[in-house]
Amino acid sequence: MDRPDQIRLTGLEVTARHGVYAEEKVTPQLFVIDLCCSLRPRPDTDDLATTVDYSELAQRVARVAGEGSLDLIETLAERVAQTCLAEDLVAAVEVTVHKPQAPLPVPVADVAVSITRRKPA
């Protein structure tokens, strides 16, 4: 079986107020989002209307990721996944949300959560 076509966005940066600690709800911090959308088959044509417009998708993901204040990056990853799955041609998506400035008691380069979601068959 052939592997489906994919669209990847890596390193999408959003400044937001997500986290469980009170200071995270006040002070914005950087979140970095990577996603890989597996696409449903499409016609072999050079027409943007036959695929996912990754510019528009990036804008929608950034808007959803920057809204409100969530406690968990797992919830943020779920919101991003559902945004991607709202696209007709997206069959599945893998989302990784990085929180490189997470307030931890020991130094770490990054904290990340990855999820995979699929549309029902």
The residue ranges of every structural domain in the chain are 6-118
Q: From the candidates 99, 101, 115, 121, give the one annotated as an active-site residue.
A: 99
Whether the Cβ atoms of residue 49 and residue 35 lie closer than 8 Å to each other: no
In CATH, the number for domain 6-118 is 3.30.1130.10
pTM beyond 0.85? yes
Q: How far is CA 101 from CA 106, 109, 110, in A?
A: 12, 8, 7
Catalytic annotation present for 99: yes
- Report the share of the chain in percent with pLDDT over 70: 99
Q: What is the residue whose two structure tokens read 């966005």?
A: 9
Question: Rounded mean pLDDT of 68-72?
Answer: 96
